[in-house]
């Protein structure tokens, strides 16, 4: 169950990371509220997952999900580069996340 909670926390990290772009420096109310709620919820879920998962593993997986998700959403929503090198680098992060998941007891 902790892994599912951690995955959801990582998805919420993607929401707030991309949400920051839409807040325009927290000057737009609705995106700012969504971003802040996602930040808090993501942290709470991460803390809950860390009750049973190793801290280093949980944090690395959380940030990895956030980094990969934010990069993909940047490509899809914001027109950021989808170069081969960038996609390959994202794949390496995914391999690292999976490695941490499957090497944790």
Cα–Cα distance for residue pair 47/38, rounded to 1 Å? 14
Report which of 1, 6, 17 is spatially closest to residue 68, judged by C-alpha positions. 17
Section 65-74 average pLDDT: 97
Domain boundaries, the chain: 1-104
User: CA-based angle 23:38:2, to the nearest 5?
Assistant: 155
- Note the pLDDT of residue 105: 67
Decide: 51 and 104 in contact? Cβ < 8 Å.
no
Q: What angle do CA 10, 13, 16 make, to 5 degrees?
A: 160
pTM recorded for the entire structure: 0.89
Q: What is the pLDDT of residues 6-63, one digit of tens each?
A: 999 999 999 999 999 999 999 999 999 999 999 999 999 999 999 999 999 999 999 9
């Amino acid at each position: 169950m902790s892994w599912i909670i951690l995955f959801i926390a990582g998805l919420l990290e993607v929401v707030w990371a991309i949400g920051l772009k839409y807040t325009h420096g927290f000057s737009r109310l609705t995106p700012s509220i969504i971003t802040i709620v996602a930040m808090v919820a993501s942290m709470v879920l991460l803390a809950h997952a860390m009750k049973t998962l190793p801290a280093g593993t949980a944090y690395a997986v959380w940030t990895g999900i956030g980094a990969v998700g934010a990069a993909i959403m940047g490509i899809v929503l914001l027109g950021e580069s989808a170069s081969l090198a960038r996609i390959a680098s994202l794949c390496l992060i995914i391999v690292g996340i999976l490695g941490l998941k499957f090497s944790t007891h």
